[in-house]
Copies of this chain bind each other. A is one copy, B any other.
Amino acid sequence: MLHKKNKTSRKQPSQSRSRATVETILDGCVRVLDQEGMQAATTSRIAEASGVSVGSLYQYFENRDAILNALQDREFARTAEMIHAHLVRDKFDTPRDLAGSVVESLLRLYRSSPGLHRVLALEGLRVAPTDRVQAFDHRIVETLRVFFESTIFPIRRRNKHVAAFVLYQSVRATMLAKILEEPPGISDELLTEEVTDLVVSYLI
């Protein structure tokens, strides 16, 4: 009743060509967000930046929000994978090294598309009114919690869930603020060091 027709939720991007187009569109959207910001992310601007027509956008996505949702999903997945990959590494030296490498990777990830991550943080591309942000934030927090529960490193926090939540929000916000504001007198190295200190002194 809300939509005249509901078809089969657009093109099922199963064929590799379809999937490629979807990725192309998402990449275009990231470019727009990074260089021109959220308010510029109109359907025609996204189409233009992706090198496809507006019509094609709608061949692959239900509507504008669906693009942003998909982009969010993809980026959260990448973030989660990145963090997970660090935590399951066999080889590590000290807890501090591990923490530092995660922090540093996060900084790098954010720097690769600051505009995108600015929007993702807190506001979460605004689409599903909070659910999507919460759901994905939660996934990352869970990854951290599980690690805290199972690592042989001694963690002095009683409530691992809260600890994961606090640390994820803290590190993310600090790194993003760094990239977005570039406050004078604070280098990447220095900040990575300090944030790692924050994490380690809280956990151990």
Contacts and interface: CB of A to CB of B under 8 A. Distances in A.
A2 interface: yes
Interface string A27-60: 0000000000111100000000000000000000
Interface stretch (A74-82, A83-91, A119-127): A119-127
Contact of A2 (B2, B123, B185): B2
B166 A133 contact: no
A186 B174 contact: no
A166 B198 contact: yes
Contacts of A37: 126
A93 interface: no
A133 B93 CA distance: 39
Interface in A169-184: 169-174, 176-177, 180-181, 183
A73 interface: no
A102 interface: no
Interface stretch (A9-17, A18-26, A146-154, A187-195): A187-195
* Copies of this chain per assembly: 4
Most buried by B among A119, A138, A163, A166: A166
B177 A137 contact: yes
Contacts of A201: 201-202
A169 B122 CA distance: 13
Contacts of A4: 40
Contacts of A181: 130, 133-134, 137
Contacts of A121: 121-122, 173
A5 to B, nearest CB: 8
A31 to B, nearest CB: 15
Interface of A: 2, 4-5, 37-40, 118-119, 121-123, 126, 130, 133-134, 137-138, 141, 157, 159, 161-163, 165-166, 169-174, 176-177, 180-181, 183, 185-186, 190-191, 194-195, 197-198, 201-202
